[in-house]
Structure 1
Amino acid sequence: MSITLNPYLNFDGNTKEAVYFYEKALGGKLMGLMTFGDMPADPNHPLPDQMKDRVMHAHLKVGDADLMFSDTFPGMPYQPGNTVQIAIHPTEEARARAIFAALEDGGQVVMPLQKTDWSPLYGIVKDKFGVTFQVNVPGELPQ
C-alpha cells in the first residue's frame, strides 16, 4: 500500500501569479499547469467564459516536495489565509474510500468521491476539525 501527501493551495483567480512567485522564491520547477479551459468540454456542464483562464491544477516541484495549486470557481467561498488543503494520493481505490469515510465522520463532504477526467476516484472532504482534504487516486491526465 502506498500513499503520499502534499499541500494544495487555492487562490481566487491569481494562481498563475502565485505559482510563478513560488517557483522563483523557492527555487522550484513547474511540472505542469492546466486551466479549466484546457479540459474537454462537457455539454451537460458548460464552462463560464470567466473560468476558462483560471487554473484547474498546477504542480510545482520544490526539492523532493510537491506543491499543488488551483483557482476557485467564482462564487465558491474564499478567505485569504485559509486556502491550504491537504491532497492525499492513495494508489488503491479501496484505501481512498476508507480514508474519505474516516475523514467524513463528523465532517462535511464538499465533493463526493467520483470519477473525473484526471482520476478514477476523486473527492473533497472537510473533517470535523475544519481541515479540507482532497482524496485523489492517481490516474492518467487527458491528452
Structure 2
Amino acid sequence: MITPYLIFNGEATEAITFYANAFQSNDTSIMTFGEAPENPEHPIPMDAKNRVMHGYVTVAGEKIMFSGTFSDAPASIGNNITLAIISNDKEFMRQAFTNLSKEGDILMDLQETFFSPLYGSIRDKYDIEWQFSYE
C-alpha cells in the first residue's frame, strides 16, 4: 500500500481536524513528539513537544498520514509530501529501499524503531521522499 504523508509547519493538528471534518471522518489519530520515548542522543526541542509526530485521517477507507516539523527544519511546497510504503514483506521493503536509494540519499537507514520493527526513509534521485514501514 502507498499512502500520502503530508508535512506541516506547526499546523498538523489543525489540518487533521480540518480534513476529518471535511470528509466526515471519525477515524483519526494524533501522536505528538512529546509522547515519543525520550532519546538522549536526539532530544526533542521544547517548541516541538506539542507538534504532531504522526497522525492520520481515514478518508474513503484509506489513511492520509500527517506530521509536523521542527521549527528549525520547516517544510515548504515541494518537500511537504512523502510517499509511505506500508508493507508486511520485509524482503520487498529491503529491495525497494535499495533500488530507490541508488543515486539518492538515505535519510534514515532501515532499522527497528519504537513504532515499527522495520522503518527507514530515503530521497530518490528525483528528490521524491519515500518512507518504508513494516506492519
The answer to whether the 8 Å contact 2:113/2:119 transfers is yes
* 3-state DSSP of counterpart to 2:27: strand
* Cα deviation, residue 7, structure 1: 0.5
Say what the alpha-carbon RMSD is for the aligned residues: 1.5
Any unmatched runs of 5+ in structure 1?
Answer: 139-143
Trace 1:6-45 onto structure 2 (pairs within 5 A). 6-45=3-42
Determine the structure 2 residue equivalent to 1:98.
95
Alignment pair present for 1:47 and 2:50: no
User: Bigger CA drift: 70-79 or 115-124?
Assistant: 70-79
* 3-state DSSP of counterpart to 2:58: strand
Identical counterparts, % of pairs: 38
The answer to whether the 8 Å contact 2:20/2:28 transfers is no
Alignment pair present for 1:136 and 2:133: yes
Equivalences, count? 135
Residue by residue, what CA displacement relative to the aligned partner does 1:83-127 show, whole Å, maximum 9, x if unpaired?
A: 111110121222211111111012111222121110111111111
Any unmatched runs of 5+ in structure 2?
Answer: none
Structure 2 residue identity aligned to 1:27 = Q
Structure 2 residue identity aligned to 1:114 = Q
- TM-score, L = length of structure 2: 0.91
